[in-house]
Amino acid sequence: MAEVTVSQLAEVVGAPVERLLRQMKEAGLKHSAAEQVVSDEDKQTLLTYLKRSHGESADAPRKITLKRKTISTLKTGSGASKKTVNIEVRKKRTYVKRDPAELAAEAAAEEARQQEALEAEAAEVEAVAEVVEEAPVTEVVETTVETVAEVAEQTAEPETKEEPVAEEPVAEEAPAVETPAEEPAETVKEVAEAAPEAAEELKTEPEESAAIEIDPEVLRQRAILRRKEEEEKEKQRRAELLAKKKREEEARAEKEKRERDSAADAKGKGKKDDNRGPRHMREAPKNDDDSPRRRGSTKGRKSRDDFDDGFGDDRQGGRRRKKTLKLPEDAQRHGFQTPTDKIIYEVNISETITPTELASQMKVKAAEVIKELFKMGMMVTINQALDQETAQLVVEEMGHKVKLVSDTAVEEALEETLTSHGEGTLLPRAPVVTVMGHVDHGKTSLLDYIRSSRVASGEAGGITQHIGAYHVETGHGMITFLDTPGHAAFTAMRARGAKSTDIVILVVAADDGVMPQTEEAVAHARAAGVPLVVAINKMDKEAADPDRVKNELAAKDVIPEEWGGDTQFVPVSAHTGDGVSALLDAVLLQAELLELKAAADVPAQGLVIESRLDKGRGAVASILIQSGTLKQGDIVLAGQCYGRVRAMLDENGKPIDTAGPSIPVEILGLDGTPEAGDNFVVVENDKRAREVADFRQHRERENRIKRQQAAKLDRMFESMAAGERKTLNVLVKADVRGSLEAIQASLLDIGNEEVNVNIVSGGVGGLTETDVNLAMTAGAVMFGFNVRADSSARKLAENEGVDLRYYSVIYDLIDDVKQALSGMLSPEVREEIVGIAEVRDVFRSPKFGDIAGCMVVEGTVYRSKPIRVLRDDVVIYEGELESLRRFKDDASEVKNGLECGIGVKNYKDVRPGDKIEVFDVKEIARSL
């Protein structure tokens, strides 16, 4: 159709209407609505615009790669060994679009090269012309004659080249020699013959010889023709070489074919001659030089010496047999000789070593080492770690030398490398202050006021659950703060905070007083030898009593300065900000007394505060630099992890390039998440970092195996003594390493002699499908602390019925685990006596047997409850009632003071005076 609307055209080309209208507007068309008609001229205009815009676009691809894959089948073998092989052939072809500017540049360069060549030739021609002008007259004449002759030969037509040179006219082909006007033009032959006479005439008439000149253009044409002739000769030489090589290859192929035919004939002839007699009686074939060899004559063939390459090819039987190279006698002897004596090795023994490693160093099998240990009375496995003394005895028993090496040689080498940098220039640094105290006493709120932020409002449950590090610029100087959790489960975190700090701010609520975690913080600070500054918080409340806080802390040997002690007490309010300035002054005053200094011109060292696994960025470690300067690109070794610092961020998430002492930063680029509390250092190269990290991982693995073996042995004896314990298997994943450590420690503390918690696996990061499979195998409950499972893991857990729970507050997780363990406890069984009947007489009944006539003297006797028969207050039988009757009627119960008849089931020795005790068994649920 000739004319269509804009919407119809968009549907045909498969483009949105808005984009098509925008392109038409850019092309200069006046279409603005989808219902407007587009003519053929408009289409052509739009097409021209699009072609021009696409051709001029800089984003157009300059390289296109086409890939093609074909699969074919190849059948090999036959019969039972027939196989089918799939062959996949991949082809790739790349097309490159050359830039017009680049092509123009290449053309300009080629033109410049040609121009330079022409200028060089012109310079050469001018030099020749100068030489000719300066030469004597005789030489000028001779050179002119030669030049005319050569130009005539090169410029002649092909059909005239076979004719004599004397017949070619010189006037038309080479007008290079200018003669006087009165002299007629001469041929080349006449000029050559007349050259001596002309020279004589020129000697006598020098004024006439000046008229003879050589045109430079002729010389330039001569040089061009000579270069073309050389190129033609080179092409002809290459063609001859190729033809010669081709003829040689054809001759070689023909020769090999004749040799194969001769070999086949010789083989067939040998089979026919096999019946002639034994092989040693046959006559050897003649191989004289003048006799024909096998088939045909050797005439015209190359001799064996022509093909000699040092190994001497033998062509007996038509085959090319390679002769062995003759070597000297000493070189022909075998290189290996069986040792006559036992080889004694020097075995390096560290503090711990396995039998496998010992066997490897002694060049024996591990079974021999195990056998020697059995002889010594030690039952060990192949991978069990041996101490240094035991390993030394084994090596000496097997006849080898012992070399005791330190197990920390790698660590010592690292320490030597670090100390080689020197202490550097010591400069004053900012103090590192840790805020500690009981939960909900206002630690984070006080820090928020100092930082003018709102961290506490974003914490789950309103409590801090990991160490937060911040450095702030105050009017009193820069201070780095570490905020530690106050919950009981985070004891290890508080201990790390006390060890990595210079000053501890102990926050105590004025309305609450000293609490358990307050006492623990004081103990941690004393163990680390860190001075205390007490902040009495919540002074804005009506129930605030600072004297109570001072008295309770004085009882813990924390004496205020006004009482003669050495601890500063500062009343503050995190809500109103009262006393915060005084608190900062007290901190800086304490820092001045400590005279804190650090070097900034050495490689960085510090402490890992926290680490986590980020889905988009990988392993992220929060570190506190204690000395030196950390730069982006440094090689960092942190515990068992190492890597290059790819990016460095401050506490606000802003990228930075360097960080000095007392600055907390986050680094990216480690190969894993280091443990919280590990030391980090900057090393010189990847090799040293990898070596130390591998050593630490190996040592940790050995220690873990030792702990597991010891735990198995202890658990075996415990189970033998107290029976099998019930175990709750759990799998824990947390957001940061510190929270994971606190959760694992709290879960392992829960339990008693009947139930306990077994942590199947723990890690940092989200829950994956692998974790779900592990939980299915171990029958474990999955806990996610501030992390979530991905879609595949969640779907698998739902299909397999794996219990998956999420938590954001640690005490909620601990409470749920306690409830689960309480449900696993065996209920407590209690017996309650509900009635006692005294036997007065025994009656014989032919239908029911012996019936005891009783009087209920206490409580109520029930028919459905268990009983005991007591004689002289000693239990002689325990069972149940067979019948309970009052007079002639059956009764379900008989109360106190009434008579009844009781039949005891499966017991016939009831006597008067016995007591029948009726009791009830109640199960009471237990809890941890």
Instruction: Enumerate the known binding-site residues for GTP.
Output: 437-444, 483-487, 537-540
Query: Nearest-CA neighbor of 21 among 401, 762, 10?
Result: 10
Q: What are phi and psi of 661, to 5 degrees?
A: -60, 145
Q: Are 679 and 606 in contact (CB under 8 A)?
A: yes
User: Are 634 and 652 within 8 A, CB to CB?
Assistant: no
What's the number of CA atoms in the CB half-sphere (13 Å) around residue 652?
Answer: 7
d(CA 689, CA 92): 42
CA 42 to chain centre: 58
Measured CA to CA, the distance from residue 266 to residue 285 in angstroms comes to: 11
Helix (H) or strand (E) holding 127: helix 100-134
Nearby residues of 478 by Cβ (< 8 Å), 6 or more positions away: 430, 471, 472, 662
Distances (CA, A) of 434 to 482, 503, 515, 604, 702: 5, 6, 18, 21, 35
Reduced to 3 states, what is the DSSP secondary structure of residue 863?
Answer: coil
CA gap 385, 552 in Å, rounded: 51
CA 65 from chain centre, in angstroms, equals: 31
Nearest to 863 by CA among 839, 886, 881: 881
CB atoms inside a 10 Å sphere around CB 209: 18
At residue 829, the 3 state secondary structure works out as strand
The Cα–Cα gap between 572 and 507 comes to 10
Q: Is 603 in contact with 597 (CB distance < 8 Å)? A: no
Q: The tokens of 743 are what?
A: 């959760």
- Judged on CB neighbours under 10 Å (0-12, 13-18, 19+), 17 is middle
- Cα separation, 783 vs 815, in Å, equals 13
Spell out a b/e string for 436-453, using b for 16 or more CB atoms within 10 Å of the CB, else e.
bbbbbbbbbbbbbbbbee
- Beta-bridge partners for 893: 862
The gap from C-alpha 363 to its chain's centroid, in whole angstroms, comes to 35
CA 411 to chain centre: 24
Which residues are part of a known binding site?
Answer: 437-444, 483-487, 537-540
- The end-to-end CA distance of the chain, in Å, is 87
The Cα–Cα gap between 637 and 685 comes to 10
Task: Answer whether 728's CB lies under 8 Å from 757's CB.
Answer: yes
Q: What is the DSSP string of 606-656?
A: EEEEEEEEETTTEEEEEEEEEESBEETT-EEEETTEEEEEEEEE-TTS-B-
- 10 Å CB burial of residue 498 (0-12, 13-18, 19+) is buried
Percentage helix, strand, coil, to 5, in the chain?
Answer: 40, 25, 30
